């Protein structure tokens, strides 16, 4: 982290330190996360993330989708070092995030910020907005004068569509949409390189969701942010993301560009998710009437052998029970399915 | 509207006294549910949609002040006492709640909770109730139903619990099923299963379904008719195809246009409704949507528009008479 130590301009100094051979801001390989749990009175190991690899380019928004229990939030938490990874490497600006400790980890945190699902709960109820937004600056840019800090806070407040009149208010005085704007401002004020958005829209009302979706997209473009966008809402992912990673029981099922994924996905699970996503148009919704995917995601404690999706897959064959499908290129996707060629559009 | 209405709500208002003044949760609502129909009620949080549903079964908070009329067949439900309501609840009209974990009793086995409905409302033996409950669980596609009967709610997944709730709600073959965001807490694949199940059960039993949701996609998938609520009032009401093809209310248009879609070109920006829903303790005079409306007229700030029929079965509460279409996402 010495290279990024002069904290005044993290973006500038840090980006120059990236080895030239790596175009990716973040390169995750073979990440596994295991939780120790108690099952029927005995200790057991729950593998929440299992050998996940992906890259995130600078300025890119990558969607992580999958049902609850697919491991999408766990991946984000492991990268932010909020839960310990069992194995794997996460190269970020030439440094393995998973190998950092102590002061170097602390210093790295300024480059990695998080936007939470529940906007009101993620704000300290006893701090006013000015203090909430000033705190990251006090921690990571202590050299700023009080006046400089106030200027940065005000500029950021305005960038998320709030005004100076909001700075003295407290979290409970805000609606969900306004609170999420504050959460976004708090994440962005120290100019992080990578922002993890964990279901940033789920707690918001329909009419507010579109405001926040637009805001995130605008900020992403203006500030050239790199985002990991975790969501179970495929339509929101399609609007916000450049590429999408589809997870099931802790494994990558498919990675593809957003347009390719929605027009010609290659994994039966992706196809099932797309078909289950509600379409706000009765003609289109009823025209595609196909039987929904049966059953539910199994417990990761009892992950099926071979392909983890096979117990719900309408295309499963004997081979799927024996052999874990490797991620490979088919069409415009990276896909882990023995029968990907047959899925097509 | 309909002679065969199973449920007829007239001039219903629900108010709560609060330290911030009177909260008008539901304001002067007229609504009918025909026998066997699938009515969707869509609205954001605070629109009064859940309050409306709860009031039908006498489940409003004790301090709520209700005025108007809620008739089931010829019987007035408003003001009915607990004993009389219990003849109807779970029997003629039943309800499925959003969160099946808190709606089920964690101390009782699933089988006991389902059979209780029959033991209370029907003169059946324990053995017959058990047999009917197993059949009912099978009809909501719970595999290994006999074993599930002996399990506790915590042993079931979220989707299973919701199926148990639906089995419980339907076992007495009610005429009307009220469902409050029944699939919101579930994953999309399970949500699709539950919606399919509703349609299947309705086709088989003829039960009318009133489904409350914030998700226009769910409405589009399942409903015959839609009522759009905002700030305690019905803004628009129409058959589902008519509502989506020709929305007459600016709020309906705004809801429709602000949702990203998986089946249409990706816009650069979503159409977006400015502002926030009003505080129910301090509703604006006139139309509650006016402060956010791009078609606002001077009269909108003064006079609450009445709900009027503008076409067969199509009702709207809006002063703006011209065409909509001003609100669009920004193309990429």
Give the three-state DSSP class for B26.
Answer: strand
In-domain check, residue A95: yes
Which residue from A60, A55, A15, A98 is spatially nearest to A258, judged by alpha carbons?
Answer: A60
The alpha helices in A224-267, defined as continuous H runs, are 234-240, 258-264
A2 pLDDT exceeds 70? no
Q: Residue B276 and residue A210: Cβ atoms within 8 Å?
A: no
Residue A216: how many CA atoms within 13 Å on its side-chain side? 32
CA dihedral A234, A235, A237, A240 (to 10 degrees): 180
ipTM of the complex: 0.86
Confidence of residue A168 (pLDDT cuts 50, 70, 90): very high
Q: How far is CA A319 from CA A249, A307, A341, in A?
A: 19, 9, 15
pLDDT tens readout for residues B71-125: 999 999 998 988 999 999 989 999 998 888 888 999 999 999 999 999 989 889 9
Confidence of residue B193 (pLDDT cuts 50, 70, 90): confident
The CB-based long-range contact list for A165-174 (8 Å cut-off, 24+ gap) reads A166/A129, A167/A128, A167/A129, A167/A130, A167/A133, A168/A128, A168/A129, A168/A130, A169/A128, A169/A129, A170/A125, A170/A126, A170/A127, A170/A128, A170/A129, A171/A120, A171/A123, A171/A124, A171/A125, A171/A127, A171/A132, A172/A120, A172/A125, A174/A120
The residues, ordered by sequence, that sit 6+ positions from A131 with a Cβ below 8 Å of its Cβ are none
For chain A, first and last CA: distance in Å?
46
My answer on whether A174 and A37 are in the same domain is: yes
My answer on whether A264 and A145 are in the same domain is: no
Residues in chain B closer than 8 A to A202 (CB atoms): none
Distance CA(B175)–CA(B328), nearest Å, equals 41
Distance CA(A343)–CA(B143), nearest Å, equals 29
Name the average pLDDT for chain A.
89
Count the helix, strand and coil residues of chain B and give each as a percent rounded to the nearest 5: 35, 25, 40
My answer on whether A272 and A336 are in the same domain is: yes
Distance CA(A252)–CA(B322), nearest Å, equals 51
The residues, ordered by sequence, that sit 6+ positions from B198 with a Cβ below 8 Å of its Cβ are B38, B166, B179, B182, B209, B211, B222
A146 pLDDT exceeds 80? yes
Within 10 A of B167 (CB to CB), how many other CB atoms are there? 28
Give the three-state DSSP class for B46.
Answer: coil
Of A21-25, B38-42, B190-194, B324-328, where does mean pLDDT reach its minimum? A21-25
Domain hosting A257: range is 244-345
B206 pLDDT exceeds 80? yes
Q: For testing the chain A interface, which of B259, B265, B293 should be mutated: the one with the most A CBs within 10 Å?
A: B259
My answer on whether A119 and A174 are in the same domain is: yes
Residues in chain B closer than 8 A to A209 (CB atoms): 258
Q: What confidence score (pLDDT) does residue A16 get?
A: 39
Q: CB of B253 within 8 A of CB of B247?
A: yes
Distance CA(B151)–CA(A219), nearest Å, equals 50
For chain B, first and last CA: distance in Å?
44
Distance CA(A220)–CA(A295), nearest Å, equals 37
My answer on whether A159 and A290 are in the same domain is: no
Q: What confidence score (pLDDT) does residue A37 get?
A: 87
In-domain check, residue A28: yes
Between B200 and A254, the more confident residue is: A254
Last residue of a domain, one of A225, A241, A257: A241
Q: CB of A109 within 8 A of CB of A139?
A: no
Q: CB of A234 within 8 A of CB of A66?
A: no
Confidence of residue A193 (pLDDT cuts 50, 70, 90): very high
Q: What confidence score (pLDDT) does residue A15 get?
A: 39
Of A246-260, A295-309, B184-198, B242-256, where does mean pLDDT reach its minimum? B184-198
Handedness of CA A121, A127, A129, A135 (dihedral sign): negative
Spell out a b/e string for B3-38, using b for 16 or more CB atoms within 10 Å of the CB, else e.
eebbbbbeebbbbbeeeeeebbbbbbbbbbbbebbb
My answer on whether A117 and A222 are in the same domain is: yes
Q: How many domains does chain A have?
A: 2
- Going by the DSSP 8-state scheme, the letter that residue B327 receives in this structure is -
My answer on whether A299 and A194 are in the same domain is: no
- Going by the DSSP 8-state scheme, the letter that residue A162 receives in this structure is -
Q: Residue A209 and residue B258: Cβ atoms within 8 Å?
A: yes
Last residue of a domain, one of A213, A241, A269: A241
Distance CA(B149)–CA(A235), nearest Å, equals 37
Distance CA(B50)–CA(B181), nearest Å, equals 9
Residues in chain A closer than 8 A to B189 (CB atoms): 67, 272-273, 276, 292-293, 296
Angle at B207 (CA atoms; ends B201, B213), nearest 5 degrees: 80
B331 pLDDT exceeds 70? no
Angle between helices A206-223 and B250-258 (to 10 degrees): 40
- Going by the DSSP 8-state scheme, the letter that residue B284 receives in this structure is P
Over residues A249-270, mean pLDDT: 95
A11 pLDDT exceeds 70? no
Distance CA(B90)–CA(B82), nearest Å, equals 13
Count of A–B CB contacts within 8 Å? Answer: 134
In terms of CA atoms, which chain A residue is nearest residue B266? Answer: A239
Q: Which residues of A touch B (CB under 8 A)?
A: 67-68, 175, 177-178, 205-211, 213-214, 217, 232, 234-236, 238-239, 258-259, 262, 272-286, 291-294, 296-297
Give the neighbor-by-neighbor strand order of the sheet with A328-330: A112-115, A194-198, A226-230, A61-65, A243-248, A251-257, A333-335, A328-330
My answer on whether A131 and A164 are in the same domain is: yes
In-domain check, residue A57: yes
Q: What confidence score (pLDDT) does residue A13 get?
A: 39
Residue B267: Cβ-neighbour burial (10 angstroms; 0-12, 13-18, 19+): middle
Distance CA(B174)–CA(B177), nearest Å, equals 7
Pair type for strands A226-230 and A194-198: parallel
* Domain CATH for A157: 3.40.50.300
Between B4 and A106, the more confident residue is: A106
pLDDT tens readout for residues A14-68: 333 434 444 799 999 999 999 998 888 889 889 999 999 999 999 999 999 998 8
In-domain check, residue A4: no
Q: Residue A207 and residue B258: Cβ atoms within 8 Å?
A: yes
Q: CB of A319 within 8 A of CB of A334?
A: no
A297 pLDDT exceeds 90? no
Q: What confidence score (pLDDT) does residue A32 get?
A: 97
Spell out a b/e string for A240-277, using b for 16 or more CB atoms within 10 Å of the CB, else e.
bbbbbbbbbbbbbbbbbebebbbebbbbbbbbbbbbbb
pLDDT tens readout for residues B287-308: 999 999 999 999 999 999 999 9
In-domain check, residue A120: yes
Q: CB of A93 within 8 A of CB of A18?
A: yes
> Which percentage of chain A shows pLDDT scores above 70?
93
The residues, ordered by sequence, that sit 6+ positions from A338 with a Cβ below 8 Å of its Cβ are A307, A317, A319, A320, A323, A325
Last residue of a domain, one of A214, A241, A268: A241
Residues in chain B closer than 8 A to A239 (CB atoms): 260, 266-267, 270
Distance CA(A322)–CA(A308), nearest Å, equals 11
Confidence of residue A86 (pLDDT cuts 50, 70, 90): very high
My answer on whether A55 and A189 are in the same domain is: yes
Q: CB of A169 within 8 A of CB of A129?
A: yes
pLDDT tens readout for residues B112-169: 999 999 998 988 999 999 999 999 999 888 888 999 999 999 988 888 899 999 999 9
Q: What confidence score (pLDDT) does residue B332 get?
A: 63
Q: What confidence score (pLDDT) does residue A19 get?
A: 41
B233 pLDDT exceeds 90? yes
Confidence of residue A289 (pLDDT cuts 50, 70, 90): low
**Whole-prediction pTM:** 0.88
Q: CB of B162 within 8 A of CB of B194?
A: yes
Angle at A296 (CA atoms; ends B147, A42), nearest 5 degrees: 65
Q: Residue B255 and residue A207: Cβ atoms within 8 Å?
A: yes
My answer on whether A268 and A283 are in the same domain is: yes
Q: What confidence score (pLDDT) does residue B279 get?
A: 84
> Which percentage of chain B shows pLDDT scores above 90?
68
Within 10 A of B203 (CB to CB), how many other CB atoms are there? 10
Q: CB of A93 within 8 A of CB of A274?
A: no
Q: CB of B39 within 8 A of CB of B33?
A: yes
In-domain check, residue A16: no
My answer on whether A303 and A185 are in the same domain is: no
Name the average pLDDT for chain B.
91
In-domain check, residue A112: yes
The CB-based long-range contact list for B82-88 (8 Å cut-off, 24+ gap) reads B82/B58, B85/B57, B85/B58, B86/B120, B88/B57
Q: How far is CA B182 from CA A84, A342, B51, B95, B186, in A?
A: 36, 35, 15, 10, 8
Nearest to B187 among A67, A175, A217 (CB): A67
Q: CB of B174 within 8 A of CB of B166?
A: no
In-domain check, residue A17: no
My answer on whether A149 and A131 are in the same domain is: yes
Handedness of CA A221, B216, A290, A231 (dihedral sign): positive
């Amino acid at each position: 982290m010495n290279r990024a130590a002069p904290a005044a301009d993290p973006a500038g100094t840090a980006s120059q330190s990236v080895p030239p051979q790596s175009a990716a801001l973040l390169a995750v390989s073979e990440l596994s996360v295991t939780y120790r749990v108690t099952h029927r009175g005995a200790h057991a190991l729950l593998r929440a993330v299992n050998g996940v690899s992906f890259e995130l380019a600078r300025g890119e928004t990558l969607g992580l989708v999958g049902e609850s229990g697919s491991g999408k939030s766990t991946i984000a938490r492991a990268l932010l070092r909020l839960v310990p990874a069992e194995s794997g490497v996460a190269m970020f600006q030439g440094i393995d995030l998973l190998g950092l400790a102590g002061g170097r980890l602390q210093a790295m945190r300024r480059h990695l910020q998080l936007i939470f699902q529940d906007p009101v709960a993620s704000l300290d109820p006893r701090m006013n907005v000015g203090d909430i937004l000033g705190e990251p600056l006090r921690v990571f840019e202590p050299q700023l004068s009080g006046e400089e800090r106030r200027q940065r806070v005000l500029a950021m407040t305005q960038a998320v569509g709030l005004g100076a009149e909001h700075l003295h208010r407290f979290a409970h005085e805000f609606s969900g949409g306004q609170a999420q704007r504050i959460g976004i401002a708090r994440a962005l004020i120290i100019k992080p390189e990578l922002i993890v958005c964990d279901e940033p829209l789920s707690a918001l009302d329909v009419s507010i969701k579109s405001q926040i979706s637009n805001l995130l997209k605008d900020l992403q473009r203006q500030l050239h942010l790199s985002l990991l966008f975790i969501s179970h809402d495929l339509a929101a992912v399609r609007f916000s993301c450049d590429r999408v990673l589809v997870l099931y029981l802790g494994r990558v099922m498919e990675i593809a560009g957003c347009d390719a994924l929605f027009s010609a996905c290659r994994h039966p699970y992706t196809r099932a998710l797309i078909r289950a996503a509600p379409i706000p148009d009765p003609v289109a919704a009823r025209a595609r009437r196909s039987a929904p995917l049966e059953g539910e995601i199994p417990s990761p404690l009892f992950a099926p052998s071979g392909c983890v999706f096979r117990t719900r897959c309408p295309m499963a064959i004997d081979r799927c029970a024996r052999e874990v499908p490797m991620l490979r290129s088919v069409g415009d996707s990276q896909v882990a399915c023995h029968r990907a060629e047959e899925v097509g559009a | 509207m309909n002679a065969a209405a199973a449920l007829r709500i007239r001039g219903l208002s629900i108010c709560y006294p609060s330290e911030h003044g009177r909260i008008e949760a539901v304001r002067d609502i007229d609504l009918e549910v025909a026998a066997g129909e699938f009515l969707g009620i869509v609205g954001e949080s605070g629109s009064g949609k859940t309050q409306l549903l709860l009031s039908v079964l006498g489940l409003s908070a004790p301090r709520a002040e209700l005025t108007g009329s809620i008739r089931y067949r010829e019987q007035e439900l408003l003001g009915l006492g607990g004993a009389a309501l219990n003849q109807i609840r779970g029997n003629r009209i039943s309800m499925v709640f959003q969160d099946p974990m808190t709606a089920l009793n964690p101390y009782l086995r699933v089988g006991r909770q389902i059979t209780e409905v029959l033991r209370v409302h029907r003169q059946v033996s324990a053995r017959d109730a058990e047999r009917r409950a197993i059949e009912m669980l099978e009809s909501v596609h719970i595999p290994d139903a006999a074993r599930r009967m002996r399990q506790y709610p915590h042993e079931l997944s979220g989707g299973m619990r919701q199926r148990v709730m639906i089995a419980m709600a339907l076992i007495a073959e009610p005429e009307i099923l009220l469902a409050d965001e029944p699939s919101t807490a579930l994953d999309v694949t399970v949500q699709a299963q539950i919606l399919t199940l509703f349609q299947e059960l309705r086709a088989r039993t003829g039960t009318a379904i009133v489904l409350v949701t914030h998700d226009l996609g769910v409405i589009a998938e399942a409903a015959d008719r839609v009522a759009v609520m905002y700030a305690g009032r019905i803004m628009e009401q129409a058959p589902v195809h008519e509502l989506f093809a020709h929305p007459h209310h600016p709020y309906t248009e705004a809801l429709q246009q602000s949702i990203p879609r998986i089946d249409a070109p990706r816009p650069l920006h979503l159409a977006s409704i400015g502002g926030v829903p009003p505080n129910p303790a301090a509703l604006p005079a006139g139309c509650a949507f006016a402060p956010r409306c791009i078609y606002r007229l001077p009269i909108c700030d003064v006079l609450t528009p009445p709900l009027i029929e503008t076409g067969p079965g199509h009702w709207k509460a809006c002063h703006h008479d011209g065409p909509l279409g001003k609100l669009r996402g920004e193309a990429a």
